C-alpha cells in the first residue's frame, strides 16, 4: 500500500558521474583522451586503455602514466504534471529538478613493460561512476505520487461507489500538499586490467588480457513529513488519516451496536439505517487506514558491492603512414550484493525490492567493440578517427530493464594532433555519442542523453622521457522529451493499488479487488488532468592533468 510514495521513478540505478562512453562505461581513463578522444589507434602509453595491442611498438623499457581528473556534472529534469498545481509553493504544473554530480579527484594509472616482442601491461581506473549525484529537492517521480493526494481525496466517494461499497459522505477534501524529499547516489566501479601484447612482425601485433571490476555504491533517499492542507489547516498526512480511520472505526462500533439493538427491538427500518451507517463508517475506516499507511515516512539506505571479470582482445596493424587497431572487451557479468538499513515502511514497496537487504541485483557492464585509424600526414601532424559500439541490449539489468532500450550505443570520434615544436604538442578532437532510447527506458533518476563531446589540450615534454599532459573536456548534451501521458496516468493505477488490496481482503475476493482497482483508476483519471511530460538534459565539464614517464 505504501506505493503511493515511490513509483517506478525510484530506481536508484544512478551512475553517479559518467564522463564519456556507454551507459555504464567510462572511456576517459587517461588525460590523453581528454586532449583528443580519438585514441583508438594511437601508439602511446595511454594505449593500455584504448589500443593495448599497439603499446608493444613502444621502445623497450618501463612506461608509466599517472592521471588525475576533476569533473562536474548537472542533470536537469523538467517535469509537467497537472496535479503539481496543488503543491505548496508551486507556481503551476511545471517544475525543474536539478541534480549535481561532482568527482573532485578521479585517478588512473597505466603501466607497461616492453621487452623484445612482448609488452606486459597493467591498468587501474574508475571505469564506471566516479562520484556522488545529489538531488536536494527530490524528483518529479517522487512528487507526482504525493501530488495525487488532493485528487485522491476528491475521488474517494466515487471510487467507493464504483467498487460497490456504497455511498460515503463527509470525506474531508485536501486542498494542497507539501513534503520533504531528497535523493543521493554514490557509485564507483574500480577496474583492474592485466594483459600482454605480442609483436607478430614489424607491422602486426595482438593482445589478450583480463579485466576485473569491483563495484561499490550507496543509495540514500527519503520522502517524509508529508503534509496536507484541509481548510485553513496544515496537517501531518499519515497521522491525520490514521486518526480519521480510528474515528470511523469507533463510529462503526457504535452504529453496529445500534443496529443490533434495533433488530432486537423489532425495528427493521431503524436497523437498516444503522447498518448503512455502519457500512459507511467501515468503508471510511478502511480507506483512511490505507492512506495513513501509504503516507508514512519512507527511507532508503542501501550499500551495494559486486565483482566481475571479462577478457579483452586487441589487434594493431601498421602500413605506411597508417595505423589500424581494434579492441573487443567482453561483457562483464556483475551481480551486486545489498546491505541495507531501510525503514520498515520500505519493505512492502514493490519497486524497492531491488534494494532489500541480502538481495542480488543484475548489473552487467556491456561488451564494447572499438575500431580506429591514425594517419601521419607529416611527421609532426597526425589525424585520427574511431568508432565505438556498446552492446547494451545484450547485457542484463535488474528486471530486464535493458529490453526497454531501442538499440545499442554508437560513438563516432575524430581528432588531430600537432607537434608545435620538439617540446610542445597540441591536440583536439570530438566524440558523438548516439544512444537509442525509448520513452519507457527514460527515468528521471538515472538517464543519459545523446551528446557531442569536445576535448582540447597540450603535451609538454619536460625531458626526453617525461611528458606533462593538460586537458579540458566538455560534453554538450541534447534534450530528450517524453510525452508521458501514459506514465502519469499510471499514477492513478498506483493510487488504485492502495485501495484494491484492502477491498480484496475485505470481500475475500481477488476479483472484487481487481474491480476496485479499475474503478479507482477510472475515478482518478476522470477527476483531473494527469497528462504530462518530462524533458531531460545534462552538462559535463572535466579538467585533467597527467604525467608520463619512460625508463
**HEC letters along 95-113:** EEEEEEEEEEEEEEEEEEE
The pLDDT of residue 526 is 66
Q: Above 70 in pLDDT, residue 79?
A: yes
The pLDDT of residue 12 is 37
Q: Rounded mean pLDDT of 41-69? A: 97
- Closest C-alpha among 495, 395, 490, 492 to residue 443: 490
The pLDDT of residue 503 is 62
Q: Above 80 in pLDDT, residue 168?
A: no
Core vs surface per residue 266-291: b (16+ CB within 10 A) or e: eeeeebeebbebbbbbbbbbbbbbbb
pLDDT tier at 202, thresholds 50, 70, 90: very high
Q: Rounded mean pLDDT of 331-341? A: 92
Q: Rounded mean pLDDT of 64-92? A: 91
Q: Rounded mean pLDDT of 279-295? A: 83
Residue 379: exposed, middle, or buried by beta-carbon count in 10 A (0-12, 13-18, 19+)? exposed
Q: Between 483 and 428, where is the model more confident?
A: 428
pLDDT tier at 22, thresholds 50, 70, 90: low
Q: Above 60 in pLDDT, residue 378?
A: yes
Name the one residue in this structure whose C-alpha cell is 478502511. Answer: 286
pLDDT tier at 146, thresholds 50, 70, 90: confident
Other C-beta atoms within 10 Å of 312: how many?
19
Name the one residue in this structure whose C-alpha cell is 548489473. Answer: 363
The pLDDT of residue 138 is 80
Identify the structural domains of the chain with CATH numbers, from first to last: 2-550 (2.40.160.60)
Q: Rounded mean pLDDT of 368-390? A: 97
The pLDDT of residue 411 is 95
The pLDDT of residue 491 is 56
Q: Rounded mean pLDDT of 475-493? A: 69
Q: Rounded mean pLDDT of 218-230? A: 91
Interhelix angle 510-527/148-162, nearest 10 degrees: 130
Q: Above 50 in pLDDT, residue 548?
A: yes
Q: Above 80 in pLDDT, residue 26?
A: no
* Helical (H) or strand (E) element with 160: helix 148-162
147-151, 262-266, 408-412: range with lowest mean pLDDT: 147-151
Percentage of the chain beyond pLDDT 70 is 86
CA separation for the pair 96, 535 (Å, rounded): 9
CA separation for the pair 529, 348 (Å, rounded): 29
Report whether 425 contacts 469 (CB < 8 A).
no
84-88, 157-161, 409-413: range with lowest mean pLDDT: 157-161
Reading the block at residue 105, the C-alpha cell is 579527484
Q: Rounded mean pLDDT of 174-195? A: 91
140-144, 146-150, 336-340, 363-367: range with lowest mean pLDDT: 140-144
CA separation for the pair 181, 251 (Å, rounded): 35
What tens digit of pLDDT does each residue of 8-19 get? Answer: 333 333 444 445
Q: Residues 37, 215, 31, CA angle at the centre, nearest 5°?
A: 20
What separation, in Å, do the N-terminal and C-terminal C-alpha atoms of the chain show?
Answer: 66
CA separation for the pair 123, 34 (Å, rounded): 17
Largest distance between two CA atoms of the chain: 111
CA separation for the pair 182, 97 (Å, rounded): 11
Core vs surface per residue 106-126: b (16+ CB within 10 A) or e: bebebbbebeeeebbbbbebb
CA separation for the pair 479, 497 (Å, rounded): 33
CA separation for the pair 268, 464 (Å, rounded): 106
Reading the block at residue 75, the C-alpha cell is 542533470
The pLDDT of residue 178 is 93
pLDDT tier at 501, thresholds 50, 70, 90: low
Other C-beta atoms within 10 Å of 432: how many?
14
Report whether 290 contacts 498 (CB < 8 A).
yes
Q: What is the mean pLDDT of the chain?
A: 86
CA separation for the pair 177, 238 (Å, rounded): 12
Q: Above 60 in pLDDT, residue 5?
A: no
Other C-beta atoms within 10 Å of 233: how many?
10
The pLDDT of residue 438 is 82
Q: Is 519 helix (H, G, I), strand (E, B) or coil?
A: helix
Q: Above 70 in pLDDT, residue 488?
A: no
Amino acid at each position: 500500500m505504501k506505493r503511493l510514495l515511490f513509483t517506478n521513478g525510484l530506481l536508484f540505478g544512478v551512475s553517479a558521474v559518467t564522463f564519456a562512453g556507454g551507459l555504464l562505461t567510462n572511456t576517459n581513463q587517461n588525460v590523453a583522451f581528454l586532449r583528443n578522444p580519438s585514441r583508438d589507434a594511437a601508439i602511446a602509453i595511454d594505449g593500455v586503455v584504448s589500443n593495448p595491442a599497439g603499446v608493444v611498438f613502444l621502445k623497450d623499457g618501463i612506461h608509466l602514466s599517472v592521471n588525475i581528473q576533476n569533473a562536474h556534472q548537472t542533470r536537469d529534469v523538467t517535469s509537467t504534471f497537472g496535479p503539481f498545481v496543488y503543491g505548496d509553493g508551486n507556481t503551476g504544473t511545471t517544475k525543474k529538478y536539478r541534480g549535481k554530480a561532482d568527482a573532485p579527484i578521479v585517478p588512473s594509472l597505466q603501466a607497461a613493460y616492453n621487452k623484445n616482442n612482448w609488452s606486459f601491461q597493467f591498468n587501474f581506473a574508475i571505469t564506471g561512476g566516479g562520484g556522488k549525484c545529489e538531488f536536494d529537492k527530490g524528483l518529479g517521480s517522487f512528487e507526482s505520487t504525493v501530488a495525487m493526494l488532493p485528487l485522491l481525496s476528491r475521488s474517494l466517494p466515487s471510487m467507493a461507489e464504483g467498487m460497490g461499497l456504497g455511498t460515503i459522505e463527509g470525506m474531508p477534501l485536501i486542498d494542497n500538499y507539501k513534503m520533504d524529499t531528497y535523493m543521493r547516489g554514490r557509485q564507483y566501479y574500480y577496474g583492474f586490467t592485466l594483459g600482454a601484447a605480442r609483436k607478430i612482425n614489424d607491422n602486426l601485433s595482438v593482445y589478450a588480457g583480463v579485466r576485473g571490476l569491483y563495484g561499490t555504491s550507496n543509495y540514500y533517499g527519503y520522502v517524509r513529513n508529508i503534509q496536507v492542507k484541509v481548510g485553513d489547516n496544515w496537517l501531518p498526512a499519515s497521522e491525520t488519516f490514521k486518526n480519521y480511520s480510528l474515528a470511523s472505526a469507533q463510529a462503526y462500533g457504535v452504529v453496529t451496536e445500534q443496529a443490533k439493538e434495533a433488530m432486537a427491538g423489532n425495528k427493521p427500518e431503524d436497523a437498516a439505517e444503522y447498518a448503512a451507517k455502519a457500512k459507511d463508517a467501515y468503508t471510511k475506516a478502511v480507506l483512511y487506514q490505507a492512506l495513513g499507511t501509504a503516507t508514512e515516512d519512507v527511507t532508503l539506505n542501501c550499500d551495494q558491492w559486486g565483482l566481475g571479470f571479462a577478457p579483452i582482445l586487441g589487434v594493431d596493424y601498421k602500413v605506411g603512414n597508417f595505423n589500424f587497431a581494434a579492441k573487443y572487451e567482453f561483457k562483464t557479468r556483475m551481480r551486486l550484493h545489498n546491505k541495507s538499513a531501510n525503514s520498515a515502511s520500505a519493505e512492502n514497496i514493490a519497486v524497492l525490492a531491488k534494494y532489500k537487504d541480502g538481495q542480488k541485483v543484475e548489473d552487467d557492464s556491456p561488451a564494447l567493440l572499438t575500431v580506429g585509424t591514425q594517419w601521419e600526414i607529416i611527421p609532426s601532424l597526425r589525424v585520427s578517427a574511431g568508432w565505438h559500439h556498446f552492446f547494451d541490449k545484450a547485457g542484463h539489468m535488474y528486471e530486464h530493464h535493458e529490453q526497454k532500450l531501442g538499440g545499442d550505443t554508437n560513438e563516432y570520434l575524430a581528432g588531430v594532433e600537432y607537434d608545435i615544436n620538439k617540446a610542445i604538442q597540441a591536440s583536439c578532437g570530438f566524440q558523438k555519442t548516439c544512444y537509442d532510447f525509448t520513452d519507457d527506458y527514460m527515468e528521471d533518476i538515472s538517464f543519459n542523453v545523446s551528446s557531442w563531446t569536445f576535448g582540447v589540450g597540450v603535451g609538454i615534454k619536460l625531458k626526453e622521457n617525461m611528458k606533462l599532459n593538460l586537458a579540458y573536456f566538455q560534453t554538450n548534451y541534447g534534450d530528450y522529451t517524453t510525452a508521458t501521458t501514459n506514465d502519469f496516468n499510471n499514477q492513478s493505477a498506483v493510487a488504485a493499488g492502495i485501495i484494491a488490496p484492502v477491498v480484496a481482503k475485505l470481500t475475500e475476493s481477488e476479483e472484487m479487488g481487481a474491480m476496485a482497482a479499475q474503478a479507482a483508476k477510472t475515478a482518478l483519471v476522470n477527476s483531473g488532468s494527469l497528462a504530462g511530460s518530462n524533458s531531460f538534459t545534462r552538462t559535463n565539464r572535466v579538467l585533467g592533468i597527467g604525467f608520463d614517464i619512460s625508463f
